[in-house]
Amino acid sequence: MDFAFILDPLPLLKAYKDSSVAMMRALAGRGHRVFALEPADLCWDEGSVKARVVPLTLTPDDADWYRAGAPVDRALTSFAAVLQRKDPPFDLEYVYATYLLEAAEREGARVFNRPRAIRDHNEKLAIARFAEFIAPTLVTRDPGRIHAFVDRHRDTILKPLDGMGGSSVFRLRSDDPNRNVIVETVGLQGARTVMAQRYLPEIADGDKRVLLIAGEPVPFALARIPKPGETRGNLAAGGRGEARPLTPREREIATTVGPTLWADGLLLVGLDVIGACLTEVNVTSPTCFVEITEQTGFDVAAMFADALLRACA
């Protein structure tokens, strides 16, 4: 079968830790063909969604991990599945790509994660759907409400709804002398919606990435532990990744929300869990395949390939 991956530019992918590369290698290792494209390669032409795609031959060498063939134009319906793996920002161009992919679905293409489901699940705000698992949380543009929340909980986290990798995430205590300017900065003077959450001291033990594949949890999570002096555990912010078996609470969260998210067409989801609380539902390009596999021996990419092939059967 042929699979098309919508990715960031290939030279920017770090094969030694990239989950998309791990997926492609797992599929190629089973005899399937993989193709790459960027969102700009999509088009709607005379009633059909097409793309200029590049066939890839994969190598085991992380420093020189692919050979690209000649580009070719193909209808998205000609692939067994199209996998949307473009990183945020989730801007208007990203939204336009989901519209094109949804049009391809109407023609009969399989797309994972489903474009409508990606649009419907903001990675920060989607936790509101599972409120029984979350910490005290506020979402608002109103600076007055943010200040009241900070006064009530005294130690909080503020973040915009469109960030990734820990960008623009602030820890804010009620007695912080920079409190006003932090609220103004994160909220762009009231022009941007902000999420405020009670600070969870369990972050010291790691911001856990729990992966769901076709609604089923991977049996290991990656605890992303903040470096000294840092609040954020994100690997992009210098956190250290440590794979651990799921705790009973993490498994409870995963097995409760997993079937609902899979029913929506979210083949791959990355839940973020701190302590006993669900903090994010990542649906655009969840990662941590390689780190979990290297540390535990559990082949996450193989589990993903199995689920994808079942979905395409």
Q: Annotated catalytic residue: which of 25, 50, 198, 224? A: 224
Q: Annotated catalytic residue: which of 113, 198, 232, 234? A: 232
Q: Annotated catalytic residue: which of 18, 198, 282, 291? A: 282
Q: Annotated catalytic residue: which of 25, 110, 198, 209? A: 209
- Dihedral angle at the C-alpha atoms of 104, 99, 272, 191, nearest 10 degrees? 180
* Known catalytic residue at 280: yes
* Known catalytic residue at 159: yes
* Known catalytic residue at 208: no
What type of residue sits at position 130? F
- Calculate the alpha carbon distances from 230 to 206, 224, 226 in Å: 12, 12, 6
Compute the chain's Rg from CA coordinates: 20
Q: Annotated catalytic residue: which of 25, 86, 110, 159? A: 159
* Known catalytic residue at 232: yes
* Known catalytic residue at 178: no
Q: Annotated catalytic residue: which of 25, 50, 114, 124? A: 124
Phi, psi of 121 (to 5 degrees): -120, 80
Q: Annotated catalytic residue: which of 123, 207, 250, 280? A: 280
* Known catalytic residue at 227: no
* Known catalytic residue at 282: yes
* Known catalytic residue at 234: no
Q: List the catalytic residues.
A: 124, 159, 209, 224, 232, 272, 280, 282
